[in-house]
Structures are given as C-alpha cells and as structure tokens.
Amino acid sequence: MKKDILSLADFELSDFTMLFDRAAELKARHKRGIPDRTLTGKSIGLIFDKPSTRTRISFESAAIQLGATPIFIHSGDTQMARNEPIEDTARVLSRYLDGVAYRTYSQELIEKFASVSDIPVINALTDKFHPCQVLSDLLTVIEHKGSIEGLTVAWIGDGNNMAHSWINAAAILGFSLNLACPKAYYPDKDIMTRARKKNKRIFLTTSPMDAAQGADVINTDVWASMGQEHEQKERQAVFAPYQVNSLLLDVAARDAIVMHCLPAHRGEEITADVLDGPQSVVWDQAENKLHMHKAILDVLLTS
C-alpha cells in the first residue's frame, strides 16, 4: 500500500521508531564509508515552490547516495504555473517517478496531490507542517539524550509549521512540550486540541521563562517565515521578548541542548553566543536531515 508523509499526526509510534532506527543505521554505515544503493534505478521528483538550502540539498544527496536520481522541479517552470489541475500533474508524475517530495505553501494542495498520486508523496514543508524537519530534529535529540522519553522540550517563538509538527510528535511520543508564543501567534487551536487529547503534557504559555524552566531541549525558529517578510518589522517588535539567549538558557536544565532548524538570524530569535555555544546542536541537527531523508526515501520506496 502506498504511504505518504504529509503530517506527523498521521503517524503511529511504530512509524517513528522505524524511521529513527533506519536513519541511525544508515548514518552509521555512511560514517564507516559503507555505501547503500537500495534505490538504484529509481527517480525522485523534488517539486519546490519555496526556496531551500538544507531541505533541497539533503533530499538530493539522500537520493544520490541511495542510488536514485533526483529531479528538481520548480513549479513555475511547469504547466502547474499555467493552471493545470494539480490532480492531472500528480497522475502524470506518478507514471514517470517513484516518489515525490513536495515543498509548497498550501497543506490542502499537497493533500490533493497525494490523494490521486500512485507514488509516495513527502511533505518537504507547507505553511502548516514541516514533518521531515521535526523527524530529523527528534533523531538529533535521541542522539544527544539517549531517548525522547521523559524529556521536556521548550518551543520559543512563533506557533508556526514547526510548532505544529512538534505538537503532533509530542501527541504520539508522549514527551512534555512547553510552547511559549505571543497570543496573536499561538499554534492552530484544532491541532492543539487534538494533540492534548492524546498527551496532556503539552502546554501553551506566553512566558518564555516558564516554558524553558527545567527544559531538556530549547528550540526556536525565525520570527518571520517565508512569505511573511512583509511582517518582519511588526514581528520583531512582538517577538523581542522571545529571544533565546543566555538568560533563558540559565533556567533550563544544566545539560539542555539548543536547537534551531535554520536559517538563523543571530541577534534576533537567538543570540550568537547561544547558537555557536557549547550547548548548541544545530549543526548535528542540520546534518541529520540527510540521514533522515535517506531513511524516509528508503522506507517509503522499498516497502
């Protein structure tokens, strides 16, 4: 049966475990110089409506390292830009490709694409969710902490697509999640309500200090995401108290790790001394996108 990754809310515990284990295995083999060619002869379409550094290159490298051929597709260069129905594009690409990673604005669009696609469809980011990034981030937490079980993760900043995917992950994996967001930028209420029915240890506050108190993981993102650049000045004023800095880190657990999905704006959502400091794991986090994307492609395209 075809399986997609559109949102972590669709996952079961076994799905997380399988991907974490496979990513760790592929990473270990890669570090030892052992090649894996499980996808030889396959083609992976990368449809990107939004700019990208890490997501695009890690998916391309993941496909190449597994023996597949990645084909980058900017929708502006296709008939999608001339209003071809997304369902028609999906039906045709299903006959050319073995899988698609789609990075776009609308969650509804990618769900519509997947609904008629005969091949696996992977959400490489929408305005609502960023599941692959959070899978990579969770792999990083497990590497540094041994397990996600029993930990407290603090999310500081915008209740955006990253926050939504962390909420969905917490609902299934059961760790404590403290979100500190300005009220006008709270996460989606329905996403929070559904998640808290499964895990009551998901908390929402306007106080960064309260969210970070005793936390094992401090996590943040830019204040203005792609498509929100026109709100930059307004958001800077609202989010100024939500900066991840040494004062915030002082109230976290002594061995807390700091995460940022990048790109980072030093001096805005995070200070340079924290981002580049000894508790930061952002470069491991960025690297793990490669290994998690390899695991995702391997699991979806060989099962």
Q: Which two tokens stand for residue 44?
A: 């992976």
pLDDT for 166: 98
Residue 195 to residue 182: CA distance in whole angstroms: 20
CATH code assigned to 133-285: 3.40.50.1370
Domain segments of the chain: what residues? 8-129+289-302, 133-285
Contact 45/93 with Cβ under 8 angstroms? yes
- 105 by DSSP, 3-state: which? coil
Q: State in words which class domain 8-129+289-302 has.
A: alpha beta
DSSP percent split of the chain into helix, strand, coil, nearest 5? 50, 15, 35
Instruction: Write the DSSP symbol of residue 44.
Output: E
- 144 by DSSP, 3-state: which? helix
- Matching fold, domains 8-129+289-302 and 133-285: yes
pLDDT for 232: 81
Half-sphere exposure of residue 79: CA atoms within 13 angstroms, side-chain side: 9
Please give the chain's pLDDT, 303 residues, in tens: 579 999 999 999 999 999 999 999 999 999 999 999 999 999 999 999 999 999 999 999 999 999 999 999 988 888 887 889 999 999 999 999 999 999 999 999 999 999 999 999 999 999 999 999 999 999 999 999 999 999 999 999 999 999 999 999 999 999 999 999 999 999 999 999 999 999 999 999 999 999 999 999 999 999 977 667 778 889 999 999 999 999 999 999 999 999 999 999 999 999 999 999 999 999 999 999 999 999 999 999 997
